[in-house]
Chains A and B, each alone.
Chain A
Amino acid sequence: AIQMTQSPSSLSASVGDRVTITCRASQGIRNDLGWYQQKPGKAPKLLIYAASSLQSGVPSRFSGSGSGTDFTLTISSLQPEDFATYYCLQDYNYAFTFGGGTKVEIK
């Protein structure tokens, strides 16, 4: 099974900061990766699909990049509503796997 290693597991940042989260796949997955945001007690929400495409309705401060094994989610200017946990998900093969998550907390 493809392993997804997400880092960091948590970070503290201030409103307005640029935040970067990475995911590394144990083997090449082309661009078959999505990013999800989850707030406490809520279901995850799709932010990015196909590694770099912004889901409809998601603010443009979110962006994704990468291909193959290394991927990045960037929040260009952190807003109060962005404090949440973020997960990557690979959908390259028939056994999907999530990264371990990154909790973004207020500094």
Chain B
Amino acid sequence: QVQLQESGPGLVKPSQTLSLTCTVSGGSISSGSYYWSWIRQPAGKGLEWIGRIYTSGSTNYNPSLKSRVTISVDTSKNQFSLKLSSVTAADTAVYYCARGAEYSSSWAFDYWGQGTLVTVSS
């Protein structure tokens, strides 16, 4: 059973860089045709896709965040990471990591982390 777990600081100061790591267990991050994504959700609001990475290192980002986002993968640690620069209070949210898998030529997020709250405040 694949499990994902987010980790990182729960409080980040404005203008600084938010850094989170997702640790994958129950399977190798580099096996199979999967991509690994970050998704966030401000309190009481909807879901926003941030970006994804394949284990090849290829990435895609939400155009609205692209200038501030970097997603990387460390296959030796079975982890992938998110960096979001120049944060403001608008970046306060629960951040989820998730696995994307191919289903019938479509893709879907079939495994999710439990989510971690990141607050941007001085």
Nearest-neighbor residue (CB-CB) of A98 within chain B: B47
The contact string, 1 if C-beta is below 8 Å from chain B, for chain A 88-101, is 01010011111111
Interface of A is mostly: loop
Docked-complex contact A98 and B105, CB < 8 angstroms = no
Q: Is the CB of B107 within 8 A of A46?
A: no
**Chain B: which residue is nearest A91 at the CB level?**
B107
Q: Which residues of A contact B105 (CB under 8 A)?
A: 50
A-side interface residues, number (CB < 8 Å): 28
- CA of A99 to CA of B62 in the docked complex: distance in angstroms? 15
Q: Mark A14-58, 1 if CB is under 8 A from B, else 0.
A: 000000000000000001111010100011111001110101000
Interchain nearest-CB distance for B108 vs A (Å): 4
Query: What is the 8 Å Cβ interface bit string for chain A, positions 66-107, against chain B (1 contact, 0 not)?
Result: 000000000000000000000101010011111111000000
> Smallest CB–CB gap between B35 and chain A, Å?
10
Residue among B46, B52, B63, B103 making CB contact with A87, cutoff 8 Å: B46
Interface residues of B in 83-122 (CB under 8 A from A): 96, 98, 100, 103-110, 112-115
Write the residues of chain A forming the contact surface with B, with a CB cutoff of 8 angstroms.
Answer: 1, 31-34, 36, 38, 42-46, 49-51, 53, 55, 87, 89, 91, 94-101
Interface residues of B (CB under 8 A from A): 37, 46-49, 52, 60-64, 96, 98, 100, 103-110, 112-115
- For this complex, 5 residue pairs linking A to B, each with C-beta atoms less than 8 Å apart, are A43-B98, A44-B109, A50-B108, A89-B49, A95-B49
Given contacts A46-B109, A95-B49, 4 further A-B contacts (CB under 8 A): A36-B109, A89-B108, A98-B46, A101-B46
